[in-house]
Amino acid sequence: MSTYPIRVYGDPVLRQRAREVDEIDGRLKVLADDMVETMVAAPGVGLAAPQVGVQKRLFVYDTGDGGGPRTIVNPTIAESDGEWTFEEGCLSVPGLSWPIVRPRHIHLVGWDLDGNEVSIEATEFEARVLQHEVDHLDGVLLVERLDDDQRKEALRILRARALDLSGNDPDGLAGLSGGERRRPLDRR
């Protein structure tokens, strides 16, 4: 097993819709194993294939409920309802997080690595992780889930960061990230 570098905001691979997986084979299982290792090392609670530069519709996640890491292939959110606000972060937008409203409950269907159909009823945190990862497969980053004011501020910070090639912290980003490590989504 090995880990991948995680692609970050600005990488075009994060903005494309990933393709359906045609075949669940040994190569896909190796990819999933490496994605789990990458997620654990980050550390995170979810990781989608585009985040490691692979344009395939699968993600791994582990909410820490004791069930261990799971891989979902070709997921679809069949139903969603309710509303829930949660401070959400992303391994591809490191150090930042925002309160984001999403459905509280979802029904997700897809496939596991043995080719069996899976059907997951998830609420609150687990539902949040699953929705976040499906967004990645559609090329949607959490920045696009923000309201207009939040998005303006986020883009200002991300642009400043992209310009900051020296590794300095002119915008006080270190201070921001301090608060955000409390409960970011992709991270434990």
- Catalytic residue numbers, as ranges: 133
d(CA 145, CA 142): 5
d(CA 116, CA 134): 19
Residues whose CB falls within 8 Å of the CB of residue 148, separated by 6 or more in sequence, listed in order: none
**Using CB under 5 A, which of 90, 96, 154, 173 touches Zn ion?**
90
Looking only at residues 31 through 70 of this chain, which bind Zn ion when binding is defined by CB under 5 A?
A: none
- Check binding of 14 to Zn ion (CB under 5 A): no
Binding-site size for Zn ion (CB under 5 A) equals 2
CB of 186 to Zn ion, least distance (A): 5
Q: Say how many C-beta atoms besides its own lie within 10 A of residue 112's C-beta.
A: 14
- Check binding of 96 to Zn ion (CB under 5 A): no
Q: Which stretch binds Zn ion (CB under 5 A): 69-77, 87-95, 101-109, 157-165?
A: 87-95
Q: Which among 125, 113, 138, 145 has a CA at the least distance from the CA of 46? A: 125
CB of 185 to Zn ion, least distance (A): 7
* Distance between first and last Cα of the chain: 21
Residue ranges that bind Zn ion, judged by CB under 5 A: 90, 186
